[in-house]
Structure 1
């Protein structure tokens, strides 16, 4: 008997000794790997920040041993979510200004500004998030009330899309803006020859020049605030659509010091000093930071009527919007960037802006392969222009824009032009993939709202019945790919993230519900219960 017990004990010790030691084992999970076969698994093993095995729980437990083991109790696991277009640093900055998102009237805007200034007095009041399309009176506000309340304190309140300011007279004076100021690529809105206080696109830069610069401590806090919010929603990689050199270098230094862990795909803002530095330096790549693209603004936004259209706005006679970057400059930039290893990512909303960008890309990329240049938003496309996306150009789109704009978009575009707007399925059919993001803080951070908008094409009240232009809805598999492997591919990172496969970063999220099977109306309520980045739990 003692001999038998000795043999059993020896076999047990031998079995344990032959198992490979790893850092983390997760079992009993409902894993969507998003690999080439979109296969399922129930267990994973992680070592040194990467997946070393993916398969059945039994097979994982037979081959591996870890001090940290997690029973997922049947919960759904997906790859770490990637936001393919957002303003990560801008989200952090917004935590330090007046929050105007969701205001239902200009009166409510004023109330929030007053309350914020009382609680946190500032010598330059800033806010963001108003949207006149949400108000009963869907017209741009004017500066009169702000002039009355803050005659000696400059005020700059940014529209939700980031393409318009409402400023008071003090801010106009500091910026040197008068009724005679001339500008291109935007509008200084006037009524009866008098400035209303609304600045659309390029004129906003005149105000930006007089806004006090944030301190280093404030910049660091903004990045940390943005990281906390993003990780809470299961985002492990964020594509920041336009950053200056100092913020890119600050992100790198914080990551190297272990003070910032979220992975950042940083698009370089299109300013001469940025391009001169980064294009000469070449691609910068670490495990946490990827700098290999330039963000260019083609036109403005549809909500502020700054998007450049081929024919006039249906709800504003004779108004076409405007190119923020002139056509000749976009063409020259495309040629310059094509001569480097950098990617060109251009904001294009209106059909006129989109064709300008697509033609510039097509010309600059002749004879070049695998450049993966992106059209950011690709929001309104003429039917004859969709074929450009067959040529390796990637549409980077934000599904919640469709469900935010659907109430008034047809008013702007008309019943024919709207057919080529928010056409995600049409874009997918031509390009073979779509990269999905939110454009936060223009929209909410939640990737689950992105998922819901893509598949259901409804708001959270299930409006409209049957969905908005459902012929352009995406399937759940397509949507998850757009938020993981396709987004990673658009960043040249598909070999290191975007799916749960051996050798890739162990970035994954445990969800509260099976997002692939629950009723669509329940998708917005999904929660990222646990978030792992490089095998380390962040939530």
Structure 2
């Protein structure tokens, strides 16, 4: 009997339901890995008859997906935030301050820092004032950031250190004043007046933060992230940790538009290694809806005196786009409000020729005027969305927007413009778990299953679209769809094993799905403790 000699592979995965997320959404049983890349995909019989391996992973019917990719997050920022007080879910300002005191008693620091408070979840849905902070921390400076990262509150000590008074002026931000005294609330660029006085984390602290962030991300199945806003020294640190083999996460680094970044990276063109891509610039057009910093075409429904904040002058936004275009860099602009989206589409349209493949992105694309939707397709602009924002904001967004809420979180409408869109979480603003984003995209409900009928279901994504948005489309959003984002021959063997079928199981079970194992380049980087 003729016997075909089998090729040696490093790893063979068998007896699985493998969602390859290839162009036709093939479901396979098995695949083989050699030198970190996938060399065969098919049935158990097809793979095992062509390949042998000392390492055979029999998954006994479990479910395999391409490694999940978060297309917009703050990976380093998340790691740096881990030691700080986490204030999300607090039901009142009193609870926020009490949590802060408790955390500071356990982990005393020179500056009292925290993140996650959200006045929209309190009975009195207004910005707090800092009297309670002044009483709790009379001698230590306090700076705690709102959940969206676009507002903060500082105590009197911190305001004094920064020299902030009722008459202090700031472009692209706001110092909230009541009865002639700063309340401590700082919006958008005003936050930087305090930040410049907070000690900068050391290189060692940043390195540890990256490794801590990686560990938590592997545990939820993330094998790649797009870090939205980094400095050159931080990118160099990431590169060195990756080259040393300590940081295995694949990272697409979006650069802040600083002189240093232009000198070290942008002016020299695209920088790319097996795990790091540097070819994007992150800029901000406006603030956030929750802090009324999102720039709207018409005034806020619940505060007709304001339309929000344009955080950078139009000339600066334009000049960054011009430099990016000149050096072949992708532009990724934070736009929450419909006026910010229109502003950036106007600027983008000056540089982007019709039919381009430059993949300039509008991050968030949260409120988009219907007249502007077709312009995404016309100029091949990519809407980069975060589906959990819809379910976090849905109960109060209508207060800010009124009837315009129908133009918000319109993922199906945005998807229709180019036929694809990447999904991320914006963590630490939202949870790092990509399955929550999948669930929010499909069910349009929060983790409590509310609202029962789903939120604006006409813009929910199908399960296939939601899975593509966190795998192959997220890879495409940083020009890496040829090397990752699906389980196909020739691509990196980045994959995740789950105990549930995301495509066919009851949708309410999806957020409870367990990541059992995570692999990068065919190497196991996480196994759930049994």
What range describes the TM-score normalised by the shorter chain of this pair? Answer: over 0.9
For residues 231 and 215 of structure 1, what CA distance do their matches in structure 2 show? 24
The aligned residue for residue 44 of structure 2 is: 57
SS state of the match for residue 522, structure 1? helix
The aligned residue for residue 149 of structure 1 is: 136
The aligned residue for residue 400 of structure 1 is: 388
For residues 103 and 277 of structure 1, what CA distance do their matches in structure 2 show? 42
The aligned residue for residue 289 of structure 2 is: 302
1:74 and 2:61 are equivalent in the alignment? yes
SS state of the match for residue 303, structure 1? coil
Q: Which of 173, 178, 190 is 2:177 aligned to?
A: 190
For residues 373 and 323 of structure 2, what CA distance do their matches in structure 1 show? 25
Please state how far the C-alpha of 1:369 moved relative to its aligned partner: 2.0
The aligned residue for residue 278 of structure 1 is: 265
For residues 471 and 122 of structure 2, what CA distance do their matches in structure 1 show? 36
Q: Which of 396, 408, 414 is 2:402 aligned to?
A: 414
Please state how far the C-alpha of 1:465 moved relative to its aligned partner: 1.8
For residues 190 and 341 of structure 2, what CA distance do their matches in structure 1 show? 22
1:316 and 2:303 are equivalent in the alignment? yes
- What TM-score results when the alignment is normalised by the length of structure 2? 0.97
Post-superposition Cα deviations, 1:182-239, rounded to whole Å, max 9, x if no partner, equal: 1111110111221000000001111110001112221111101100111100000000
Alignment of 1:162-177 (within 5 A): 162-177=149-164
For residues 143 and 278 of structure 1, what CA distance do their matches in structure 2 show? 41
1:97 and 2:84 are equivalent in the alignment? yes
SS state of the match for residue 427, structure 2? coil
The aligned residue for residue 115 of structure 1 is: 102
The aligned residue for residue 476 of structure 1 is: 463
1:460 and 2:447 are equivalent in the alignment? yes
Please state how far the C-alpha of 1:363 moved relative to its aligned partner: 1.0
For residues 377 and 421 of structure 1, what CA distance do their matches in structure 2 show? 10
Please state how far the C-alpha of 1:104 moved relative to its aligned partner: 1.2
SS state of the match for residue 35, structure 1? coil
Q: Which of 363, 375, 389 is 2:362 aligned to?
A: 375
Please state how far the C-alpha of 1:150 moved relative to its aligned partner: 1.4
Distance 1:24 1:228, change over 3 A: same
Q: Is the 8 A contact 2:257 2:320 kept in 1?
A: no
Please state how far the C-alpha of 1:277 moved relative to its aligned partner: 2.7
For residues 505 and 338 of structure 2, what CA distance do their matches in structure 1 show? 36
Post-superposition Cα deviations, 1:16-42, rounded to whole Å, max 9, x if no partner, equal: xx1100100001110111111111110
For residues 533 and 224 of structure 1, what CA distance do their matches in structure 2 show? 15
For residues 522 and 118 of structure 1, what CA distance do their matches in structure 2 show? 38
SS state of the match for residue 382, structure 1? coil
Post-superposition Cα deviations, 1:135-164, rounded to whole Å, max 9, x if no partner, equal: 111111111111122122110000011001
SS state of the match for residue 54, structure 2? strand
Please state how far the C-alpha of 1:328 moved relative to its aligned partner: 2.0
For residues 325 and 75 of structure 1, what CA distance do their matches in structure 2 show? 49
The aligned residue for residue 440 of structure 1 is: 427
1:137 and 2:124 are equivalent in the alignment? yes
- 369-378 or 278-287, larger mean C-alpha shift: 278-287
Q: Is the 8 A contact 2:444 2:454 kept in 1?
A: yes
Please state how far the C-alpha of 1:368 moved relative to its aligned partner: 7.3
For residues 500 and 327 of structure 1, what CA distance do their matches in structure 2 show? 42
For residues 175 and 431 of structure 1, what CA distance do their matches in structure 2 show? 46
The aligned residue for residue 4 of structure 1 is: none
The aligned residue for residue 429 of structure 1 is: 416
The aligned residue for residue 257 of structure 1 is: 244
Instruction: Provide the alpha-carbon RMSD of the alignment.
Output: 1.1
- What TM-score results when the alignment is normalised by the length of structure 1? 0.96
For residues 96 and 275 of structure 1, what CA distance do their matches in structure 2 show? 31
- 110-119 or 446-455, larger mean C-alpha shift: 110-119
Alignment of 1:316-335 (within 5 A): 316-335=303-322
Please state how far the C-alpha of 1:488 moved relative to its aligned partner: 0.7
For residues 256 and 218 of structure 1, what CA distance do their matches in structure 2 show? 18
Q: Which runs of 5+ in 1 are unaligned?
A: 1-7
Q: Which runs of 5+ in 2 are unaligned?
A: none
